[in-house]
Structure 1
Amino acid sequence: MHINKTEAINITKRENGKINLDKNALKEVLGNEKVAEYPVAIYSVAGPFRTGKSFLLNLFVRYLERRETIESVPAPLDPNDKEPLTGPFKFQGGASEGCTEGIWITKEPFIISTKTKKKVALFLMDTQGAFDHKSSIKESSILFALSLLLSSYQFFNLKTSIDSLHLQALGNFAEYAQNVRDTKSSFLFQKFMFLIRDWKMIEDHKHGLYGGKRYLNTVLDGKGADENVKTNKFLKENFSELLCYLWPSPAPKIEGMGTNSKVCDMKDVGTEFMEKATEFFQYLCFENKNENLMVKREGAEELNCKKLYEFASHFADVINQGSIDTAGKAAKTELIFRDCVDIYRKCLQNFGNEPLNERHERSRKKACNEFLEKSKHSNKDLRKKGQENLEQEIDKIYRLKQDEEKNNALLKECVEMYTMHMKKDFSGLEEFLNVHSNEKANAENHLKANHIKMNDHSSATALKKLQMDIMLMFESIKEQLQNRYLEKIAESVAAKWFNHFENTPSMKFEERCDQVQSELLECFDEGTKDFEESSNKKGQRMLIKKINNFIQNYVSYFTPPSSLKSTQEDLLKASKKRADVDLDVMNGNITYTLVEKESSLKYEEVNERNRKVKMETGFGAAGGAGALGVGLGFFVPPVGIALGVGAGISALYGIGAKNSWW
């Protein structure tokens, strides 16, 4: 059994003896968020009752459901399909009464992708048959007017031919919707197609679109009764295109379906009818790479589902109030009003670098000029009322924007107030946390006292935003403060390295360094026990870096002279001759660590230099004293003797320095 995926819903309801549009049903169909932004196409079939409108639409649904993807063209309808034809649109055999009541539309659209990859939402719509004994002419006119106003492609289903009564009725029906005219030069409606079922005169005009076009030209040639001429003129002036399609009869079995029959066997539908149905449906949706697909428009603007819902829901309000004659213009004015409000909002946003009052004035002027231009052919009263409503809506948005900017400035002020009190030196984390708690409460109270309420949730939203901003600022300041504290503690502990190092003289250098580092880390942990573990680890890394700097400085102080640093190998050989050396490999670099005798090389250099100075000083003094003693000895013998003794002592000092015997 074929399972229909598509459902239909009635968008009208009968209340107090009259037909009204059901806004809830409209919202369920056109207000669907999944397709709200998709361009929309609505194919609607209307016409006299018992002419097979619902049957044709169900066949259309069967055809569209044969697609494999939204880009693919459906396979042709199969005359040998064993699955009975059912569908979302109710139909039954018999010729006494119509089956459809009101206006029914597919609940969800068929999504069709065009050659430009644009996704269009296509809805199919079925209209209650006209001229039955249940409905008045006015009621039929209202239903047909609604069908025209909502559809992008209107089909008028007739049997055998178009006669003057059909044309006159069609003209009367269309007059109910003519107030939606945009300008005097634009078309009131989009495409209109006569569907002539059971066309017999194939000798004159063959079945299909071409034969239908030739037949329609003979009907609308401007001849005949005055009423027909008037209707013909109305149709030509108010539809963007008029077409006609001539159909064969579906088959005798379909024509003779029992009164209670609600399904039909596909095998009973004539082969020629099935071929023409496939040709017709393909032409409407998929020929010319889907460019025949007729999207709903208002003037030059394509409507999406959301905009069509706004148009239709406003139209529903007017219809439900019983004012069909002004409904179209009112709906059109409402649509222009909404567009101009959007223009104001967008301009206000786009002129964001200017002061608000200047942005408002420029945006207001643009929106109002746009409204006056688009509504210049509208009813004078509706235009005036629409302009007043636009000015009021713009002022309302402007006042809200003013309040919004004041609230934003207040929020910024509260954050700055908190930050100002938090950027100072604290004795410790405890004081920092106490000040944070107090200043956070002060900022929140200041916001609550001065915030302008814009809606039920604005105050709570602003408070939440403030708390979030304060928390981000708190974490940033806390991190900076902890880094300063950790740096100070690490500096203080690392300064104890040398004292700890000197207290372990009996250990090798490397072992001494490890021992001292372990002791200093314990000392550091004691000083940072109130910190979080992550901060403590960060501080330990700071301390270890500082300890390594101390070690490097200490080692460099006792490094062999540059004359011995020709290569690492030479340094190793030379160092082993002068001191006990440990080879320590750290981080991929080779460093040489001196142990207990690492300073002997340095000390021997100093002693050698001192001996040299002493020797030179001793011999120099001895020579000078000896020469002076000989010169003065002739005149003052005691002085000469004293100088001679001094020269002798100086000579002994130089000899002692040379031989290092003291």
Structure 2
Amino acid sequence: LKGEPLGTARPVQIVVADEEEHSFLLQEAALERLLLREEVQDLNVVVVSVAGAFRKGKSFLLDFMLRYMYRQSPDSWVGGEEQPLTGFTWRGGCERETTGILAWSEVFVMEKPDGSKVAVLLMDTQGAFDSQSTIRECATLFALSTMTSSVQVYNLSQNLQEDDLQHLQVRSATLFIMLMVILCCQTLMFLVRDWSYPYEHPYGLEGGRSFLEKRLQVKPNQHEELQNVRKHIRSCFSNICCFLLPHPGLRVATNPHFDGRLKDIDDEFKKELLNLVPALLSPQNLVEKEIGGVKITCRDLVLYFKAYMKIYQGEELPHPKSMLQATAEANNLAAAAIAKDLYYKSMEQICGGDRPYISPSELERHHAELRQSSVWHFRSVKKMGGEEFCRRYQEQLEVELNEAYANFSKHNDGKNIFSAARTPATLFAVMFIMYLVSLVTGFVGIRSVAVLCNLMMGVALTLFCIWAYAKYSGEFREVGGVIDKVAETLWEQVSYDQVDAFKIHGIFFLSGVCSKYLTL
């Protein structure tokens, strides 16, 4: 894997918490720098997010994931015994460290067993239930990380209790109704830290599976509310699993100077860590992000983040209908962006910067074919929102394609040497004709016409100088554009027949003048 070394890559804040306003702001520029890089923007994305209560070791766990991503060796990825743990900021203690949502500044490119390449993004989420965050803020962050991730690791301490399930269901109940409606959540892993009952359920995935089955079991004699919690959770995720992780040891928990060195961590914890991280990040276990049954790319994920952030700006959690509409909007925008990109790439091949001039009729034919192909691609992609909703985005796509064609057409015209020379040729023609007419009329004594022609010749020369300066200096571009339009109008108004007639009449006129002069 080629990428930034761990020393230069860093956590990047993509959702910022405003503690005074109790709101969140999406850092669009930072998100776009991450996901719109040329090497990853069109790859299907895998998003692994860790969420849960504050001060429970989420960032600590993510740093071991980073070690795996940079080394990807089944045996030695965990590092040396004396190597401090770096990456996402973490520390011991009882005060929160992470705020908002952070992502690692490198999006990793991995190859799956089938040969396809995917982009892997790691996200760290602000801990819930601290002394500075409201319930709405906790629910908002959990919702955002869940809606945008393909694997949500729900970090718990010691056990999976009923209040954990209720928090997960209701962060709030509205969230999970939204998730059921949109069907965009894929894998949920309950990560139970500091598991103290290995004699009942052993550490790891197998023990977690039996433990989770017991916890999520719906029994006939259960209260209806408890049954609904379990049904909601099962209905919202296509895959639910659990991993039981032992305590890392007293030296980790009580030493204020602990910096993540493996020598201070219990062997049992290290052993299970070697199973946990590959279970999430090995190529065969990667889960690509899907929304509405469609795999999304890094480019698409930017649109979904923007759409979701808009509806989480109010005082209350959004209604399921607005959540569904935001997802449908981002879904259609993503489909339109792909269709438009196909059109752009094809047109670049036909008349791009290094391509030769092509006749306008042929360019228009290519545009019509590619426009139809682009719209067909948009219509063929599985989308949300219904026919009427999608039609608006199709119409907008068609408008943008026509605008793009106009730009391509102008660019193509600029390659036509005759078109490029039209303005100076027109101005020179005006100057030459005015000069001849001035010369002849002055010779025969029609002074007023000669003066007028000289004036027009001076104006044409001035316009040519201004046009040349505007073209080659880049200044006064608007003035240069006006001169181009004037020259184009003159060029088009004078037809070839009129030019020929002008030539004939001019020849006869000059011949007559010369004959008159000779007879004198």
The Cα offsets for residues 436-488 of structure 1, whole Å up to 9 and x where unpaired, read as xxxxx9xxx9xx9xxxxxxx89x99xx9xxxxxxxxxxxxxxxxxxxxxxxxx
Contact map agreement 1:7 1:88 (CA 8 A) in 2? yes
- Alpha-carbon distance in 2 for matches of 1:175, 1:30: 31
**Does structure 1 residue 92 correspond to structure 2 residue 96?**
no
- Match for residue 391 of structure 2? 387
Q: 1:291 aligns with which of 284, 290, 302?
A: 284
Cα distance, 1:344 vs structure 2: 6.4
Counterparts in 2 of 1:532-571, with a 5 A limit? none
Residues 563-622 of structure 1: CA deviation (Å, up to 9, x unaligned) = xxxxxxxxxxxxxxxxxxxxxxxxxxxxxxxxxxxxxxxxxxxxxxxxxxxxxxxxxxxx
Q: How far apart in 1 are the matches of 2:11 and 2:420?
A: 59
| Structure 1 range deviating more: 353-362 or 242-251 | 353-362
Bigger radius of gyration, 1 or 2? 1
Match of residue 109, structure 1, among 107, 110, 114: 107
Candidates 46, 50, 53, aligned match of 1:45: 50
**What do you get for the CA RMSD once the two structures are aligned?**
3.9
Q: Tell me the secondary structure at the aligned position of residue 312 of structure 2.
A: helix
**Counterpart residue number, 1:77:** 78
Q: 1:30 maps to which residue?
A: 35
Q: Which moved more, 1:186-195 or 1:243-252?
A: 186-195
Q: Indicate the residue corresponding to 1:65 in structure 2.
A: 70
Q: 2:148 aligns with which of 146, 150, 153?
A: 150
- Distance in 1, matches of 2:90 and 2:414, equals 65
Instruction: Name 2:301's counterpart in structure 1.
Output: 308
State the 1:227 CA deviation.
2.5
Does the alignment pair 1:207 with 2:217? no
Deviation per CA, 1:476-531, whole angstroms, max 9, x where unpaired?
xxxxxxxxxxxxxxxxxxxxxxxxxxxxxxxxxxxxxxxxxxxxxxxxxxxxxxxx
TM-score w.r.t. the length of structure 1 is 0.54
Q: Scaled by the length of structure 2, what TM-score is found?
A: 0.68
Residue 359 to residue 77, structure 1, CA distance change in 2 (3 Å): closer
After superposition, residues 147-546 of structure 1 pair within 5 angstroms as: 147-173=145-171, 175=173, 177=175, 187-223=183-219, 224-258=222-256, 261=257, 263-286=259-282, 290-320=283-313, 324-325=318-319, 326-327=322-323, 329-340=325-336, 342-343=338-339, 346=342, 355=365, 359=369, 362=372, 366=376, 369-370=379-380, 374-376=383-385, 384=388, 387-398=391-402, 400-401=404-405, 405=409, 414=418
Q: Are the aligned partners of 1:198 and 1:247 in contact in 2 as well (CA < 8 Å)?
A: yes
In structure 2, the CA distance between the partners of 1:91 and 1:406, relative to structure 1 (3 Å rule), is closer
Deviation at 1:45, TM superposition (A): 0.8
CA separation of 1:415 and 1:291: change in aligned 2, threshold 3 A: same
Query: Matched residues in 2 for 1:417 and 1:61: separation?
Result: 59
**CA shift at 1:50, angstroms?**
1.9
1:575-590 → structure 2 map (5 Å cutoff): none
3-state secondary structure, aligned to 1:29: helix
- Residue 336 of structure 2 aligns to a residue in which SS? helix
CA displacement at 1:374 relative to structure 2 = 1.9
**Seq. identity, %:** 26
CA contact (8 A) 2:336 2:378 kept: yes
Structure 1 pair 28/174, CA: closer, same or farther in 2 (3 Å)?
farther
Correspondence for 2:442: none
CA contact (8 A) 2:153 2:190 kept: yes
Tell me, yes or no, if the aligned pair for 2:16 and 2:24 is still in contact at 8 Å: yes
* CA spacing shift, 1:414–1:344, aligned 2, 3 Å: same
The correspondence for 2:12, drawn from 5, 9, 12, is 9
1: CA distance between counterparts of 2:296 and 2:54? 31
| Preserved contact between residue 111 and residue 122 of structure 1 (Cα < 8 Å) | yes
What runs of 5+ residues in structure 1 fail to find an aligned partner?
Answer: 378-382, 422-440, 449-455, 464-662
* Distance (whole Å) between structure 2 residues aligned to residue 406 and residue 6 of structure 1: 42
Q: CA deviation at 1:174?
A: 6.5
Aligned-pair distance for 1:111?
Answer: 3.1
The question of whether the paired residues in 2 share the 8 Å contact of 1:179 and 1:328 is answered with no
Deviates more, 1:25-34 or 1:156-165: 25-34
Question: How many Å separate the matches in 2 of 1:208 and 1:140?
Answer: 28
Q: Counterpart amino acid of 2:376?
A: K
Equivalent-residue separation in structure 2 for 1:280 and 1:399 (angstroms): 51
Structure 2, unaligned runs of 5 or more: 351-361, 426-459, 468-476, 485-520
Letter in 1 for 2:92: G
Matches within 5 A, 1:105-144: 105-144=103-142
Q: Given residue 401 of structure 1, which amino acid in structure 2 is its aligned partner?
A: Y
Contact 2:328 2:383 in 1 (8 A): no
Structure 2 Cα separation of the partners of residues 124 and 338 of structure 1: 22
- How far residue 241 of structure 1 moved from its aligned partner, in angstroms, is 0.2
| Aligned residue identity for 2:49 | S
SS in 2 for 1:11: strand
By how many angstroms is 1:158 displaced? 0.7
